[in-house]
Structure 1
């Protein structure tokens, strides 16, 4: 059953008890990356393999995301800065141990495309915090694979 999480604001990305930050370079433009993140929510499962379904809710103000293993997140969009930043917090989930979760994607232009940075900001019970820190490598690998898949997808879409 879904549980309500503590509603955090954008500053939580800097103050969370657990902050996992990952980054990768892609050849896609910042505007293309942003559009895939923020506007093409339903396509997330095609490039982020941990995601099995994603759909916008509340006329685009929120999202519902389903992950492999059955975890469901009901999210609220917290920041929309086209080509630069997309952030959302989880308002409700069936994942045990979470108290608060906010994710932020920052996109900056590079000479060859974009740099994508993902911050996973979490508060939860002590065993969850420990597990997340121990699972950092796996989460980082999932991020890098997702961004690589996204870049391939965007590159194919841009090629006539």
Structure 2
């Protein structure tokens, strides 16, 4: 049964009790990376293996994302700055413990490519916060794998 999370604003990315921040570089330009993140929502499972399905909401202001393990989130898109930033907040989830969740993708030019920074900002009770901190290495591996896959996907699209 979906649970409504606390509604947070963009500044939560800087103030959340749990902040997992990762970065990696890809060879594609920021505009191509942004397109993959914001415009090609159904394509996420092709490069982010934790995602089993993703679709924009009919009004275009949100997404419904399903992850391996059965986690589902109904999200509101909070920031769309082409070539620079894409952020979304989870509003409804089917998981216990999490109270607030916001994710932000920052894109900056890096040589001929893009530096991709992903921030996972969350809140929940103390056991949840501890679990998320302990999960940092695994979440980081999943992010790096996703960015490598995205880099290969974008390189193939450019060829």
TM bin (shorter chain): over 0.9
1:60 aligns with 2:57: no
Q: Spell out structure 1 runs of 4+ moving beyond 6 A.
A: none
C-alpha distance in structure 1 between counterparts of 2:31 and 2:95, whole Å: 32
Structure 1, unmatched stretches of 5+, are none
For the residue of structure 2 that corresponds to 1:117, the secondary structure is strand
Deviation at 1:62, TM superposition (A): 0.3
Deviation at 1:112, TM superposition (A): 2.6
Task: Please give the per-residue CA displacement for 1:58-82, whole angstroms capped at 9, x wherever unaligned.
Answer: 4210000000010000000000000
1:15 aligns with 2:15: yes
For the residue of structure 2 that corresponds to 1:59, the secondary structure is coil
TM-score under structure 1 length normalisation: 0.98
2:41 aligned residue: 41
1:130 aligned residue: 130
For the residue of structure 1 that corresponds to 2:96, the secondary structure is coil
TM-score under structure 2 length normalisation: 0.99
Number of aligned pairs? 159
Task: Please give the per-residue CA displacement for 1:45-65, whole angstroms capped at 9, x wherever unaligned.
Answer: 000000000000042100000
For the residue of structure 1 that corresponds to 2:115, the secondary structure is strand
2:115 aligned residue: 115
1:82 aligns with 2:69: no
Structure 2, unmatched stretches of 5+, are none
Deviation at 1:123, TM superposition (A): 0.3
2:27 aligned residue: 27
Deviation at 1:125, TM superposition (A): 1.4
RMSD of aligned residue pairs (Cα, Å): 0.6
C-alpha distance in structure 2 between counterparts of 1:56 and 1:85, whole Å: 17
